[in-house]
Amino acid sequence: MQTPSVTPIGAGPARDLGKLINIDNGGTLTDICVIDGADVYRTKTLTTPHDLSQCLFEGLKKASRAIYGKEDLQALLLSTASIRYSTTQGTNALVERKGPRLGVLIGGGLTATALRAADHSADLFEALIGERVATIDADLTGTALEAAAMKAVNGLAATGANRLIVSIAGPRREEIEEQIKSHLLRTFPPHLLGALPILYSNELADDEDDVRRTWTGVFNAFLHPAMERFLYNADHKLREERIQSPLLVFRNDGYAGRVAKTTAIKTYSSGPRGGMEGAKALAEHYGFRRLLSMDVGGTTTDIGLVDGGIVRATQRGHVEGVETSFPLCDVVSAGVGGSSIIRVQDGKIIVGPQSVGSAPGPACFGLGGKSATMTDAFLLMGLLDPASFFGGDLKIDIDRARAAIRENVAGPLGLSDEAAAAAMEAAWVQKIADSLRDFTNITPDTTLAAFGGGGPFVACRVAEAIGASQVIIPGLAAVFSAFGIGFSDVGHQFSTPLRTSDSAGLAGAVALLSERAESSMFGEGARLEACKLFYALDYGDGAASRSIPLADPRVLPTGLPDDARLSLALTAVKPVPHARINGHFGGADAAATSVATRSTLVAGDYRALPLYRVEDQKAGARAIGPAVLEEAFFTCRVDAGWGFEINDAGDILLSKHARTV
């Protein structure tokens, strides 16, 4: 029987207060996960980069057909308590360097040389800014300063800049930026077609590090246009369909909020952060001490770590290795995925970072793609079944895959098509393994979590390459980042410097932030008294930024450096219903049932491997490799020396040298 494109799976929120819809928009595919009481419905649709709202609504319509037996989008939205949305569009834009032409106006001693000298920033500077830099004398005042700013802006516009960042260094930076802003608003009012969007770094971040604050502005300005255009458009269309609650944007800090209250830079790697929220829940539920995750999508492999129950994050988060002013989850997006372009250069196979995305997609999709991708190789190797791929909704063509591999890889290397596919796999695995090892040390207690549409494919081989002996594949692996968003709450962080480094300064900061938080959370439909409040004191000691949680926001901690510049941060959280994980490993054993074989390329030859359909297995089902595991939206090759156990929730544990029943 053909597997349906949307499948209910046993999981759900603690309380049934309406459906929870989680959406993860990737570069190639968009995943939708609908949690309805004890059931989870999942579906995928091809991402439509020309109009991201199109794939959003196509996915919601598919979900409604599964839930109601017919398409009824309005019934779905009327019965939904919240829609939480994340996207890798910003991540992918930076990976592929596709975005606005930025110009930077700096002064007060800040230089382009200093910006280029920041860690990992040289290539980014050339790609995002290049020669579009202007410097003004911050010692100027009044009309002289305004004239200098006008000349600099006109010069940047003439070089092709269509979005500007103003960042002034020094003790008067806020005053000078405010004067420049006032003058430019009078000269380029927003209602005129000639207006230039301008971001002022000191309005975005309270950070004395001029280089870090400027880079934060650069990233935010780069990500802002696409995020704003799509998210407001999607929110508007959902309201037209009578959605009962506003669209919530899931962010890299692990919280969600309304579109109007979302800072663009915090959408960076928000999709992968959803996967990390799910990984954290997995680690807690199954007792994994150290869970290293690889979320393999179409364009990138997103890598993160849950260590001792804590998602690895940094107080000054990094975007492509460059330090920013905001806390961000430490997720690395390597330019390798199922749709990464694989080519030959100087006799060597090169994987990514360019991707065919969903348009035109891998050659086997038959949508016009001519480049070779790992998806094409997996099809040629027998890991994909044209009849069941993508839940049977997308027909794939092995002849097109073979032609792309022959032209782009096999021919240039003088290999057979099959040998070329095997070489592509080796290069693809190596790039992922290298990225995992670069991210963290692999210890004996490290378990690899493999999810995303491409994560399970050759997880055993990736684990072998990094020295891990255990892999967890969630039953919802193909939409796991979307599912993981279901563990988030609505939350916002606010910060302000202390005017004085004493109790009076602290009390003033608490009062100011409480006022800001009350207004913001009211916009999220919550009174501040009903929110969870978390305070932290942030300061720099000359070497690094530090953050100290405050159990009592009325008391300053002791031992602070005398010259430290103190800032108070308040995080206000509105709890919302969560998803849950309910499976168990190590229970009753059952022999896994295989009713078919799959001709699969192994060690240069095609072999008929047992095919185990995940949905058909009993709780506790076990078997050893070599074999192929398959469900509606993912496939896994279980290599020789490895075995698997499928539990009552459909989660899969792969173990090296595993026993069978």
Best mean pLDDT range from 35-49, 548-562, 621-635:
621-635
Q: Look at 191 and 544; give whichever has higher pLDDT.
A: 191
Beta strands in 52-203 (DSSP E): 80-87, 102-107, 133-136, 163-168, 198-200
Note the pLDDT tens digit of each residue in 548-583. Answer: 899 999 998 888 877 778 889 999 999 988 888 888
**In the chain, what percentage of residues exceed pLDDT 70?**
94
Contacts of 434 by beta carbon, 8 Å cutoff, 6+ apart: none
Note the pLDDT tens digit of each residue in 478-504. Answer: 889 899 998 999 999 888 888 888 899
Check residue 9 and give its pLDDT: 40
Check residue 192 and give its pLDDT: 66
Cα separation, 125 vs 127, in Å, equals 5
Helices 398-405 and 417-439 sit at what angle, rounded to 10 degrees? 80
Pick the CATH number of 7-94+227-267 from 3.20.20.105, 3.40.1190.20, 3.30.420.40, 3.40.190.10: 3.30.420.40
Residue whose token pair is 């508007």: 236
Q: Amino acid identity of 216? A: T
Q: Which is nearest to 651 in space by CA: 215, 241, 206, 283?
A: 283
Average pLDDT over the chain reads 88
Q: How confident is the model at residue 606 (pLDDT cuts 50, 70, 90)?
A: very high
Note the pLDDT tens digit of each residue in 296-337. Answer: 988 889 999 999 999 988 878 888 889 998 888 888 889 899
Mean pLDDT of 235-262: 87
Mean pLDDT of 36-57: 83
Residue 633 sits at the vertex; the CA angle it makes with 631 and 638, to the nearest 5 degrees, is 50
Q: Has residue 14 got a pLDDT over 80?
A: no
Number of H helices and E strands in the chain, helices first, is 17, 36
Mean pLDDT of 362-383: 93
Ramachandran angles phi, psi of 492, nearest 5°: -145, 145
Mean pLDDT of 54-66: 90
Q: Has residue 26 got a pLDDT over 80?
A: no
Give the range among 251-265, 358-372, 534-548 with minimum mean pLDDT: 534-548
Per DSSP, the residues of 269-329 read THHHHHHHHHHHHHHHHHT-SEEEEEEE-SS-EEEEEEETTEE-EESS-EETTEE-SS-EE
Residue whose token pair is 């108070």: 568
Contacts of 385 by beta carbon, 8 Å cutoff, 6+ apart: 598, 630, 635
Contact (CB, 8 A) for 247 and 456: no
Q: Look at 68 and 315; give whichever has higher pLDDT.
A: 68
- What is the residue extent of each domain of the chain? 7-94+227-267, 101-161+163-196, 489-574
Q: Has residue 6 got a pLDDT over 50?
A: no
Q: Has residue 109 got a pLDDT over 50?
A: yes
Give the range among 165-179, 243-257, 333-347, 443-457 with minimum mean pLDDT: 243-257
Annotate 393-407 with b (16+ C-beta within 10 A) or e (fewer): bbebbeebbbbbbbe
Cα separation, 73 vs 59, in Å, equals 10
Contacts of 31 by beta carbon, 8 Å cutoff, 6+ apart: 23, 24, 42, 43, 44, 59, 478, 479, 481, 482
Contact (CB, 8 A) for 354 and 336: no
Contacts of 551 by beta carbon, 8 Å cutoff, 6+ apart: none
Collapsing DSSP to helix, strand or coil, 151 comes out as helix
Collapsing DSSP to helix, strand or coil, 10 comes out as strand
